[in-house]
A and B are shown apart, each in its own frame.
Chain A
Amino acid sequence: MGMKRRNVVLAFKAAALLSAVALSRNALALYVEEFAIGNWSNATCDMNTGDDRGDWPGMADAWYNQMGAFGHYQAGRWVDGYMTKQHECDPAYNSNCLDYWSAGGYGYDWADAAIAAYHGSAVGTNYWAGLQRYPFYADGDCWVRAGNSNQTYFGDQWLKFFHASSCFSADEDTVGNIRVAMSKPNAPLLSHQWDGFHGIMWINSGFDGNYQNVASDGHFIPISYAWVDNLYKKGQFDCAWYDPFNWFGTCLDECPMAYAIGASGDDALNRLLNERYDFVMISPSNNNWYAWLYYAGCHPEGKDPM
Chain B
Amino acid sequence: MMYDVTKTLKLGVAAALAAGVAATDAQTAPAGTIGGISNIEQITSIVDAALPPILAGDNSAIATQLLNAPIAPPLSETFSPRTALHAVLGHEEDESAPDCRHRTHEGDKDDDDHCKGGTGSSDGSGAYRHLSENLALGNIRYLSRPAFNPNFVAADLKPVTISDADALSRSVSLLSKGFGLSPTEFPLPPASIVGTKPTGFVSSLIVRGNSSGGDAAVAPTVIQKLVHIRRGVLVNLPADTSGHMQTYVPAPGEAKVLMDAKGIVGVMIENWRELRSNPSANPKLAKSRDMLVNEIAQDLLSNGGSRIAHLSAHITYGSDCRDAGFCYLVPAVQVYVAPATGTLNSDQLQQIIAGKIGTAGFVREYALINPDPALLPTR
Contacts and interface: CB of A to CB of B under 8 A. Distances in A.
Interface of A: 20, 22, 24-26, 40-41, 45-46, 48-56, 69-71, 119-125, 129, 131, 142-143, 166-168, 175-176, 179, 200-204, 206, 209, 213, 216-217, 219-222, 225, 228-230, 232, 234-252, 265-266, 268-270, 272-274, 278-279, 287-299, 301-305
A12 to B, nearest CB: 17
Interface of B: 16, 22-27, 29, 32, 37-38, 50-53, 102-105, 122-125, 128, 130, 141, 143-145, 148-150, 152-154, 157, 187, 189, 193, 195-197, 200-201, 203-212, 214, 216-218, 220, 222-224, 226, 228, 230, 232, 240, 244-246, 248-250, 256, 258, 266, 268, 270-271, 302-308, 310, 312-316, 334, 336, 338-344, 346, 349-350, 352-353, 356-364
Contacts of A52: 303-304, 358
Contacts of B16: 242
A299 B26 contact: yes
A295 to B, nearest CB: 5
Contacts of A166: 360
Contact of A241 (B29, B51, B152): B51
A219 B258 contact: no
Give the 3 A-B CB pairs with smallest separation, nearest first. Answer: A51-B358, A52-B304, A248-B23
A245 B157 contact: no
A251 B26 contact: yes
20 contacts: A51-B339, A54-B304, A168-B359, A200-B340, A237-B361, A238-B338, A238-B341, A241-B50, A242-B244, A249-B24, A265-B211, A265-B217, A269-B218, A270-B150, A279-B123, A279-B148, A288-B212, A292-B208, A302-B32, A303-B344
Contact of B363 (A202, A222, A296): A202
Given A48-B37, A49-B304, A202-B363, 15 more contacts: A40-B358, A50-B304, A50-B339, A53-B360, A123-B349, A167-B359, A168-B359, A200-B338, A216-B102, A221-B143, A237-B338, A239-B314, A240-B23, A241-B313, A274-B152
B344 A293 contact: no
A269 to B, nearest CB: 6
A56 B141 CA distance: 25
Nearest to B205: A295
Contacts of B22: 248
A222 B226 contact: no
B238 to A, nearest CB: 11
Contacts of A303: 343-344
B206 A242 contact: no
B320 to A, nearest CB: 14
A7 B222 CA distance: 44
A251 to B, nearest CB: 6
Contacts of B204: 295-297
Contacts of B153: 266
A219 to B, nearest CB: 6
Contacts of A25: 123
A298 B350 CA distance: 23
Given A26-B123, A296-B206, A121 B352 contact: yes
Contacts of B201: 234
Contacts of A217: 141, 143
Contact of A51 (B25, B154, B307, B338): B307
A150 to B, nearest CB: 16
B29 A299 contact: yes
B161 to A, nearest CB: 15
Contact of B148 (A22, A175, A298): A22
A270 B152 contact: yes
B371 to A, nearest CB: 21
A261 to B, nearest CB: 9
A234 B228 CA distance: 8
Nearest to A72: B104
B244 A302 contact: no
B359 A119 contact: yes
Nearest to A294: B206
A221 B270 CA distance: 17
A163 to B, nearest CB: 15
Given A54-B303, A302-B359, A244 B248 contact: yes
Contacts of A22: 125, 148
Contacts of A122: 349
B290 to A, nearest CB: 17
B208 A291 contact: yes
A281 B193 CA distance: 51
Contacts of B304: 41, 49-54
Contacts of B270: 209, 213
Contacts of B24: 240, 249-250
Contacts of B23: 240, 243, 248-250
B310 A245 contact: no
Contacts of B350: 121, 123-124
Contacts of A70: 103-105
A237 B196 CA distance: 17
Contacts of A296: 203-206, 220, 222
Contacts of B341: 238, 301-302
A258 to B, nearest CB: 9
Contacts of B37: 48, 50
Best-buried of B154, B266, B313, B358 by chain A (most CB within 10 Å) = B358
A201 to B, nearest CB: 6
Given A55-B362, A238-B310, A301-B310, A265 B205 contact: no
Contacts of B313: 241
Contact of A203 (B141, B307, B314, B363): B363
A234 B53 CA distance: 25
Contacts of B212: 176, 179, 287-290
Contact of A213 (B157, B210, B268, B346): B268
A291 B207 contact: yes
A166 B358 CA distance: 10
Given A204-B364, A251-B26, A244 B316 contact: yes
A301 to B, nearest CB: 5
